[in-house]
Structure 1
């Protein structure tokens, strides 16, 4: 061959590289490269440029925050390598199926899930590992016949070489020696499946050809909580399995706020696929003190039927993300769908309500009778331990000393003769508590889309419902993060944190009045206030010229005079304490409180202005109560309130000095008049 032709052949012949060489030039894949270097099979596949494989490689941050991954054995490392090219990830279009199933080179399966964030923008997951494009502008690295995708979360446990049924029935303990999970505590469900061979073989033992599922498997401790074991029938077993081809790992499921509802296989087998009589959902709850978060599988029932009660059953996921040959297994600590505990038993067993039980036991059986089996149906808003941690120490000491106040606080959390679930809650929902005096108000917030949070307002405290619709045999329990009716902030701190009061907060930031709203401790009755504070919308309704002049810095005393018209000093009035009468406000002006239907109104006679007290807008503070109003008691002549007091002190002293110099005997004459007359 002529030398020139040989040179041209070399220059224009494409050079095939391999993933092993590609990863050497990528600084964020060095931990993965080092892990593959330990095992000959993984290294051989990475170096073979002709091998049609797809590699899901964790970036270095995954190894940093999950040190256990550095010790993966060869089989676990090979579970990150798929024996085919997953070209679907590079097409950037919506799949026909949400989950793709691909086999790995160690005879396991990888489940690849797609989520559409917005039209044309997708997120992808390989098992529980999220494919990350923020570390690089490339979705995948292509080298010859090979694909490599970076993942920024762990993929999960090593796949189990069998179906979910064989995982439950496995007796050979040596199979689990090198794994991070086992089936030692699954003897109860093993016996139940042996008694129902049709469910065991068709659903739990289904092959890949019959479809893939997500299996929630209760351990032995979960079945120990069930009082009547005969209630665990076929429908209960099917309630623990999602419908066909719904293979969902924890991280993908929680990616969109954990709000992906799926019917159990019991209903997906019907003609109507979206029959959501029993829905499965996954939630995560974060502990504010430790920062750790727990995962829960939740079965929600909105109609009573068969063995199921209305409400939800929460089961903590103990071992998540175990891939099998027919789906994924999550081991849980409760039996979904079965309710066999009263409210009293439930909060006594819950490790997050130990402080609540201590407070209930302080006043004996007065409140606890409502939670027993003979107490009738109730809805109970149960504060967690961290809710009591928010209470200031001086308020907590008073609460424990005053048993009458403690009883009133606990009764504020109980709604009698009603099973109130979240599907019945709207922004107009109002319910009575068992003391027949105070009411509970609700807010349904949705941010971002599909992420709904419910809030309850009672006794001036607004709190989020963290675990909702927990079913008991005698009612419904909602776990909340604050104690209703017990203040923990000053009025100034409340204004700073309340989004609807930001106009008033910024206006008062430069006023001396703010120090009255924010005392470091409450010493006298004069330091208790009732503050009728205008909302942002109330200020926006006022003439902009008037508001601008009030905030220009030259009329701060006039602005403070206006705010004192909204403050009642020396009295802390709850919404139930308001009466139709005339009150003398902090600026010595009279304001009349009247009733219009079920609402209260403030009427200011001199300015002929009215402001309605917003229902449910009561907020309790350490130094009083705050009520939101929809208007401002203000008018144009308020600007003159500071006319004689805005002169600089320097000029006032200068005038006095001039008079004293001009009339030398003036000061002595003034002294004689005042002290010797």
Structure 2
């Protein structure tokens, strides 16, 4: 016991000695700061200052420095020092550093969602774009002044002239604002692919330098030369500036958060946002987006997207990001958007390699909308399925054209049409439609989902405008299922009532099985709402949870087990055509409970499809929602009657004869009907 007590006292004494050491000694005691220690010890002046004066250091760890490609010297370290020793949670919004010219760093504090144990853990604290990962280590200088050490996960790069004798240049360039940055970009290494001389020329020609020397904390987006191939006017330049906000890439946590640009007047309103999009190899790629919501004669409504090619350039009046093309301006055509947007490269390559005809359509068509899956969306796809589809020219073309609509379709129009039941539009893939749902009616940022062949995606970036159409970026590759029937019911908002009902006594657990197959006719929420209106007592019993036996009977009437029948195959059955690969009797299917007969009835009903059960005629409003273990056909009525929910002594519903087991599926064609 005595030995343990002595050890504990020794550890406490050691800790107190470390905490009472000067800042240089404290840095030397941290194994993660060995690289910084070497840089400091190589400079006698800097070493002396850290021993004697009041300082706060926010230093990059070894991992950060090892990955840093810039010059590692005392100039760099000086940008990580301030003479005001704050606890990290008490830091102000900005701090002057010890570097020549005293350039600022900017502090961002975001909630971490964690409890605070030592005073700061409830926060994510960023200094410019570097995150504080260890904090509040106190030291005392040799003169008795307070010192503080924090550790960050990235090197904080100053914007200082490099390779230039400071005595040969004006001191205003030691701590440049945005105007000085675009005036002398070569001082700061902005040459070659990072040259911004074209943009600076446009700013000069329009005499808009005052836009870039506005005081305060601002964010500036500057397009590089390679991306400028059209006229940039005053409003476009204003649309590249967010006043009063310093936006570093890592500190913008929500891509839906939008900021007013300088182009915000009665007639023209442009918002700016930023988004982190992982590339296919999991590297972070950041994008800037402009969204014009009120337009004038010269500027179209819609979204423009630009990749940040060099971000987080700290300047005297905020931060600058170099982007690969201007914001606010529209592309030549939709194909150009696919070509130039890095996060769409996999979709573009798929089209380029497999459907030259579609390339031509995108180039010459006057009105198109592309629902383009991002590279991230391809990570969610079964690669074997995709490879198999690519082996067949017709199949891959059908898949790609499922994402293309032969007209301009913006989210504004989808919002306007939101009240339409079963909102849908035809695609270039013959016979296949896209179906839409608006899950948030906020006009600034509606949440729009699109479904194609059973796969539902969300529009992550909408209304990227070209002269011949629009591109919406979606988070799914449509047409290749990844969900089970169970997951489809669980995630489709218009099928939630059927899903909730199917949970009784775990009936829907079987639908998770990827080794089984199902064909399911699923009533919509509106269909169940009709049951609630017309059969209130039956509805109440079904949804109260105590009539699982009756629920099972009704649901199994809507299900074909052990077989997958697309609409085309069902049509083949009803016309006595051969259904390839299906070992069945013509016109008859084995249901989970009893038999269902399909017969052909041809009437002129504009290509609509119905099931007809015991006088209940249900329209198939969304066919062929493919899943990995089956297919779902969405119908607008429930195939049930009041007598399905009867309570008797035996708790078994009375048989209703053969008629109650007969369902007629019939199709109606467009031909000739339009001519009558």
TM-score range, shorter chain: 0.5 to 0.7
1:164 is matched with 178
Task: Identify the residue that residue 213 of structure 1 maps to in structure 2.
Answer: 218
Structure 1 68/573 Cα, relative in aligned 2: closer, same or farther at 3 Å?
closer
| 2:384 equivalent in structure 1 | 393
Mapped pair 1:332 → 2:323 = yes
Residue among 437, 459, 468 paired with 2:462: 468
Whole-angstrom distance in 2 between the partners of 1:564 and 1:299:
50
Cα deviation, residue 419, structure 1: 3.9
Give the equivalent residue in structure 2 for 1:673: none
**For the Cα contact (< 8 Å) 1:599–1:613, is it kept in 2?**
yes
Please identify the structure whose Cα radius of gyration is greater: 1
- Distance in 2 of aligned mates of 1:319 and 1:251: 13
Q: Equivalents in 1 of 2:315, 2:437: separation in Å? A: 42
Provide the rounded CA distance (Å) in 1 between the counterparts of 2:191 and 2:104.
Answer: 19
Change (3 A) 1:246 1:334: same
Pairing 1:43–2:51 present: no
Structure 1 length-normalised TM: 0.67
Contact residue 415 and residue 431 of structure 1 kept, 8 A: no
User: The residue matched to 2:236 in structure 1 has which SS?
Assistant: helix
Aligned residues: 568
**Is it true that 1:568 corresponds to 2:560 in the alignment?**
yes
Q: How many Å separate the matches in 1 of 2:543 and 2:436?
A: 36
1:458 paired residue number = 452
State the TM-score, normalized to the length of structure 2: 0.67
Query: Relative to 1, partners in 2 of residues 1:43 and 1:386: Cα closer, same or farther, differing over 3 Å?
Result: same
How has the CA–CA distance of structure 1 residues 640 and 568 changed in structure 2, closer, same or farther, with 3 Å as cutoff?
Answer: farther
Aligned counterpart for 1:262 among listed residues 248, 259, 262: 259
SS at match of 2:23: helix
C-alpha distance after superposition, 1:326-359 (max 9, x if no partner): 3222111112122242112332455534555544
Map 1:249-648 onto structure 2 (within 5 A): 249-252=248-251, 254-255=252-253, 257-267=254-264, 277-287=269-279, 289-305=280-296, 307-350=298-341, 352-356=344-348, 358-359=350-351, 362=354, 364-365=356-357, 367-368=358-359, 370-373=361-364, 375-384=365-374, 387=377, 390-391=381-382, 393=384, 397-398=388-389, 400-401=391-392, 403=394, 408-421=398-411, 425=415, 430-434=423-427, 438-444=432-438, 454-491=448-485, 494=488, 500=496, 518-519=514-515, 529-532=519-522, 543=541, 547=545, 563-568=555-560, 570=563, 572-573=565-566, 585-588=591-594, 619-627=625-633, 635=645
CA contact (8 A) 2:521 2:632 kept: yes
Counterpart secondary structure, 1:264: strand
CA 1:613–1:153 in 2, change beyond 3 Å: closer, same or farther? farther
CA distance in 2, matches of 1:166, 1:296: 24
Secondary structure in 2 aligned to 1:265? strand
What are the ranges of 5 or more consecutive residues in structure 2 without an aligned counterpart? 1-17, 117-121, 161-173, 533-538, 575-586, 602-606, 654-676
C-alpha contact (below 8 Å) 1:599/1:612 kept by paired residues: no
CA distance in 1 between partners of 2:356 and 2:481 (Å): 24
Following TM superposition, by how much is the alpha carbon of 1:623 offset from its aligned partner in structure 2, in angstroms? 5.0
Q: Is the 8 A contact 2:27 2:37 kept in 1?
A: no
SS at match of 2:241: coil
